[in-house]
């Protein structure tokens, strides 16, 4: 039997680990909101590593909230990172009774109350990430099948993300499935976040 050392395992999973380290953090678009307050509110995004037993894999809880109201997130999610060799596939899940876990992005005690039984897979809404130098570039999986109903209109999600060690740029838009016209999301450009704090030391890398 061939014994693979922890060091070799980490090397084999370096793409996944590097992306996870970059993702793990508390992000803010404060500078963007100050430079252009008419078009951009001050938003915080938290990506907090989940304990290893949750997926038996690297996973995250995420929430987006306005800086003035950190306890009322307007978007929450659960994410599982899957190593596909030349890219990382991130499965997305929704939370049942998400407000029970509001604040888990900045409160570890709340995070640890989330149970796998309270999530549901969002099929066709996974993200695919490739590494380009020190940049990770991601987009929703192809097919235009990640459907979201907004204001009575059925839309498909177009999501583009660029992640570096200390920055996160994202642009989510909903396009009318009939006309292809944009229905929701920023019409002028992406949100640009800077990392305020890292949660990389919470990643359960010893299990890889």
Residues facing 156 on adjacent strands = 147, 175
Q: Output the six-digit token pair for 54.
A: 């949750």
Cα gap 91→88, rounded to integer Å: 10
Query: Can you tell me the distance from the alpha carbon of 168 to that of 151, in angstroms, rounded to the nearest whole number?
Result: 28
pLDDT tens by residue, 76-114: 999 999 999 999 999 999 999 999 999 999 999 999 999
CATH number at residue 100: 2.40.128.590
Residue 1 has pLDDT above 50, yes or no: no
Q: Is residue 189 situated within a structural domain?
A: yes
Range of the structural domain that residue 62 is part of: 6-196
pLDDT tens digits, 108-147:
999 999 999 999 999 999 999 999 999 999 999 999 999 9
pLDDT 10s digits, 7-30: 444 445 599 999 999 999 999 999
The pLDDT > 70 percentage for the chain reads: 94
Burial 127-166 (b: 16+ CB within 10 A, else e): bebebeeeebebebbeeeebebeeeebebbbbbebbbeee
The verdict on residue 31 lying in a domain is yes
Q: What mean pLDDT value characterizes the chain? A: 93
Question: Has residue 202 been placed in a domain?
Answer: no
Enter the pTM of the model.
Answer: 0.91
Residue of 57 and 12 predicted with greater confidence = 57
């Amino acid at each position: 039997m061939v014994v693979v050392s922890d060091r070799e395992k980490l090397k084999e999973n370096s793409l996944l680990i590097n992306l996870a380290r970059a993702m793990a953090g508390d992000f803010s678009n404060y500078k963007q909101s100050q430079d252009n307050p008419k078009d951009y509110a001050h938003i915080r995004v938290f990506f907090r590593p989940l304990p290893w037993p949750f997926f038996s894999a690297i996973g995250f809880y995420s929430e987006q909230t306005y800086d003035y109201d950190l306890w009322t997130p307007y978007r929450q999610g659960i994410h599982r990172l899957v190593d596909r060799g030349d890219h990382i596939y991130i499965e997305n899940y929704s939370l049942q009774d998400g407000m029970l876990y509001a604040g888990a992005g900045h409160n570890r005690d709340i995070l640890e109350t989330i149970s796998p039984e309270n999530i549901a897979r969002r099929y066709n809404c996974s993200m695919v990430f490739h590494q380009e130098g020190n940049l990770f570039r991601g987009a929703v999986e192809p097919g235009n099948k990640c459907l979201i109903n907004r204001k009575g209109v059925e839309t498909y999600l177009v999501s583009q993300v660029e992640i570096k060690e200390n920055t996160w740029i994202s642009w989510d838009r909903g396009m009318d499935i009939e006309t292809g016209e944009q229905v929701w999301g920023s019409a002028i450009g992406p949100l640009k976040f800077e990392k305020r704090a890292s949660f990389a030391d919470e990643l359960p890398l010893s299990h890889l």
